[in-house]
Amino acid sequence: MSSSPTPAEPAVAPATGPKLVLKQATVRAPEGWFLDPSNTPDILAAAATDDDGLQGFGVVAFPGPRVTTDVHVKALLDQNYAKIDYERLPDTYLAGSKVYYLVGRDKRLKDTWDIEIGGTYGDLNYTVGFSLQGKSRAEREALVDSVLASWEWK
């Protein structure tokens, strides 16, 4: 992921699996993943089961006031303080838009890592969440980076 405000060539190839279409963006799941049949234009999810367990990610777009990444992070941490030990990584950019980046291990499911990325674009707030089981740090980063590299704002 790029920490510079100007778009750069992705460090990894973009994901090429099923396309998730939001009101203001599109993003692709990894190859071999399936889309949740209950997807809506504002709440989308994709998942896969592999040798390591259940892998998934979702995107939620919701209206609200434009707030800083710090406000987004505080709200997310307040909701999940008992379940996940998050570490905030430096803010980064998603297709040119500033986003927060949190990584944490689930306190109950020790082999599950949750990654939360989000911010504001246009008149919507976005949260992109990943739940990945049994993956090494390098595997998690490659998977997340490939999905994020496929992100396009409309």
pTM value surpassing 0.95: no
Element (H, E) at 112: strand 112-121
Question: What per-residue confidence (pLDDT) applies to 90?
Answer: 94
Candidates 54, 55, 56; CA nearest to 45 is 56
DSSP symbol at 134: S
Question: What per-residue confidence (pLDDT) applies to 10?
Answer: 56
What are the structural domain ranges in the chain? 30-153
- Beta strands 25-28 and 124-133 are unpaired
Low-confidence ranges of the chain (pLDDT < 70): 1-10, 81
Question: What per-residue confidence (pLDDT) applies to 3?
Answer: 42
C-alpha span between 89 and 101 (Å, rounded):
5
Question: What per-residue confidence (pLDDT) applies to 2?
Answer: 42
Where do the H-state alpha helices sit in the chain? 69-80, 137-149
Class of domain 30-153: alpha beta
SS (HEC) of 4-41: CCCCCCCCCCCCCCCEEECCCEEEECCCCCEECCCCCC
Question: What per-residue confidence (pLDDT) applies to 112?
Answer: 92
Question: What per-residue confidence (pLDDT) applies to 83?
Answer: 84
Question: What per-residue confidence (pLDDT) applies to 96?
Answer: 92
C-alpha span between 20 and 22 (Å, rounded):
7
